[in-house]
Amino acid sequence: MIDRLYQSTSQTELQPVLRSGRLEIDAIAIHHLSVPALAYGVRHDGKTIVFAGDQSFLSEDFVEVLRGSQPDILVMRNVISLAEGQPRGLHRDSRSIGQAAKALSPRLLALSHNMQRALRDQVNDSLTIGENYTGAMVIAADLDCFAIE
């Protein structure tokens, strides 16, 4: 099933991965340089979590397909900052995270996979995210749980 996502004639659409009762999981191919990567949308009982995965700012399809979807939680990787010397191309920086979050309009933006190079500049990066996304945001730690009401 996962291989089919990369062979799809259109990577600009969500592909069903699992349908089981009230649980639905969809995936979309995202840009992560030459490394295959996926983002997932998980729906259960009318609640949605989007796991953005390892994606760069070149993941326009992800943003366009999910624009205005208003997930309950959007989980995005917090890997690089806007500081000098940060590696570019594999991951979104804080400005791009804010732009993507604004487009999807989640109830909560959860920053995960927090690398030290991003956390060192997190105050500035949070302000940069806030230039575009003004909703609730949290820097998630391993094993954190978030209630969806």
CATH code of the domain containing 94: 3.60.15.10
Burial of 117 (0-12, 13-18, 19+ CB in 10 A): middle
With respect to residue 28, please indicate whether it lies within any of the assigned structural domains.
yes
Residue 1, Cα to own-chain centre: how many angstroms? 21
With respect to residue 149, please indicate whether it lies within any of the assigned structural domains.
no
With respect to residue 30, please indicate whether it lies within any of the assigned structural domains.
yes
Q: Nearest to residue 32, comparing CAs of 5, 58, 60?
A: 58
The boundaries of the domain holding residue 80 are: 2-139
Dump pLDDT digits (tens) for 2-51. Answer: 444 444 434 568 999 999 999 999 999 998 888 889 999 999 999 999 99
Query: What's the total number of domains in the chain?
Result: 1
User: Does this model's pTM top 0.75?
Assistant: yes
* HSE-CB of 15 using CA atoms within 13 angstroms: 20
With respect to residue 147, please indicate whether it lies within any of the assigned structural domains.
no
- Going by DSSP bridges, is the β-strand pair 73-77/108-112 parallel, antiparallel, or unpaired? parallel
